[in-house]
Amino acid sequence: MTFRFPAYKLRGMDIEKYKEIAKFLRYYSLKMSSDAASGHPTSSLSAADLMAVFIRDVFHFDFKVPDNPLNDRLIFSKGHASPLYYSLFAVAGALSTKDLENYRKFTSNLEGHPTFRFPYTEAATGSLGQGLSIGVGEAIALRLQIKNLKFKIKNFPKVYVLLGDGEMAEGSVWEALSLASHYKLSNLVGILDVNRLGQSDPTMLGHDMKTYQARIESFGWETAVIDGHDYEEINETMKQCSNVTMRGNEKPFMIIAKTYKGKGVSFLEDKAGWHGKPLPADLLDKAFRELGKVDLDLRVNVNKPSQRGISNFQFPISKKNKNPKNEEMKYKIGDSVATRKAYGEALASLGEKYPEIVALDAEVKNSTYSEIFKAKFPDRFFEMYIAEQNMVGAAVGMSRRGFIPFCSTFAAFLTRAFDQIRMSVLSGASIKFAGSHAGVSIGEDGPSQMGLEDLAMFRAIFGSTVIYPSDAVSTAKLVEEMVKTEGIVYMRTSRPTTTVIYDNNEKFPIGGSKVHRLKNETMKQFSNFTMKGKKIIIISAGVTLFEALKAQEELAGENIEAIVVDLYSVKPIDVVTLRKFVSESDVFVTVEDHWAEGGIGDAVLNVFAQDPGVKVYKLAVGKLPRSGKAAELMDYEGISASSIVRKIEVILQ
């Protein structure tokens, strides 16, 4: 149901103040875009009145301590309105107007769409439809932080997300709307700028405010439809919906504001064809004349959050135990354990040592085994349901507030969230991903469930780390390495059980590998084996490592020595170790349960790209898979032990 507010009458002096702020914001939105000869001035003008009220009377933020957990948070989901965004910080005194002159320049942090280079950016939002998901994550994170405070605070910190009406066509927005209601995020406030015009056409609903309201309310939100250029309505609505303690209705809130694109300049207002177009000099002068006199020295004193007790606050959450126990997992060589289960066990074992860890799962926790973490730390586990894009967006928000989010789902389904993953880098986020059920080795579930693109996808992410353990010990050790590693880290886990082959004391540093040579006792059982036989290097990881080890023994019977490399760190790759093997053999064979494009084979090829004397042969999934037994499928795709042996025999002939 629609949330109702008591009538409130603004004083004329307040309205004049808002007008002056809005004129400042409009002036610089126009000027910055024209000076840069690019930008989105009309998208900025439509929300100027909303933001004028917001910055003066609603926002609580300490610009000297941007990580203060009691600060409100502002996310511009419509990131193309960056002229308005930066102008807002200028009128707040956090930027000088001189800084605005460098908008979109190579040497400036004021980029065309905000990124983490601008210190007050919560998240990069140039790709539309992601801001509300990030807001969900930040709202959850703020609740986790605040509930650990041992004192009452006057103003509960809120997360405000400015959305554009065009991005409401994105499914991720509705995923976020649904989850915010489920978690009763009353500290989340959306401000929907309904300016009717998209980039090339009017938006789907135009100014049909009733339909926007009905749809958003059906997702469990409180709403208010307002005139986005009426300062009294804006002020009344924002002040009331921002007061979480007064409301107490445990629902997120959406302000649905009817606005006009290009508002404030008559020849731009509600006119199509101006999206992303700066004004030429003559029209800029004309626009300035319409705005009238602007106080270019205007500054607003933004309200600061309460500081009571903040000096005793431990970020991001209090550690109850000064010397927490690290319940290190122990496995016996020869045990049979799926790496997906070892992942869940390791994550749970690290939860006390690292209270910053939070776990998110896309409703497959009993398959990814993140349910083990949930059982032990229910307050730090978040079921995100079958909405992977929103899961990743929320993880960005949690990361920005200092938590270490682990996102788990089937490897195949993470492809849905690739845009959110790539954008998280531009937000400076540090997120850990675990993709289970990778490759054809999952068997009977069939090709729709087989993650075969995941290594390529995560290798392509700037600055990412990609790991692929083969047994329970390497998995457990690498989960802690994930915690310690900044940025985007992806672990590929497998559905089938695999034999534990490593001792619990083994180390698995990021960027390393493990080398398996046949022991002398093994060699002696093959009567025709001599150390002068042919030599070959097999590089693999995960389930196919065990196929490579089987092939190693078979090849020894043919007087072929195979050195097997467990490439558990796919990125960064162990260049030093791999290049050392060139002195022993110039033939390398890679084996992987992944498409031939972008996986282990290509990673190894990159190592030897400048060495024409080295031959690299790739064995990978090359046929469209089907349902069947894991062994059948691996043989069908040519990545089984027998397939490896046959391939090497042909190579050496």
Segment among 113-127, 130-144, 246-260 with least mean pLDDT: 246-260
Give mean pLDDT, residues 99-105: 96
Tokens of 261: 């694109």
Span 597-616, pLDDT tens digits = 999 999 999 999 998 889 99
* 427 pLDDT higher than 60: yes
* Confidence class for position 448, pLDDT limits 50, 70, 90: very high
Q: Tell me the H-state helices in 351-453.
A: 365-368, 371-376, 388-400, 418-426
Span 543-585, pLDDT tens digits = 999 999 999 999 999 999 999 999 999 999 999 999 999 999 9
- The pLDDT mean for the chain works out to 92
Minimal CA–CA distance to 177: which of 125, 213, 228?
213
Q: Which residues are catalytic?
A: 388
* 518 pLDDT higher than 60: yes
Q: How much is the pLDDT for 310?
A: 55
Q: How much is the pLDDT for 329?
A: 78
How many angstroms separate the CA atoms of 63 and 71, rounded? 9
Q: In the beta sheet, which residues pair with residue 634?
A: none
pTM for this model (two decimals): 0.94
Domains in the chain, start-ordered, CATH in brackets? 15-291 (3.40.50.970), 336-499 (3.40.50.970), 514-652 (3.40.50.920)
Segment among 68-82, 150-164, 469-483, 567-581 with least mean pLDDT: 150-164
How many angstroms separate the CA atoms of 571 and 603, rounded? 8
- Give 217 or 524, the one with higher predicted confidence: 217
How many angstroms separate the CA atoms of 398 and 421, rounded? 14
Buried b (16+ CB within 10 A) or exposed e, 232-252: bbbbbbbebbbebeeeeeebb
CB 69 within 8 A of CB 157: yes
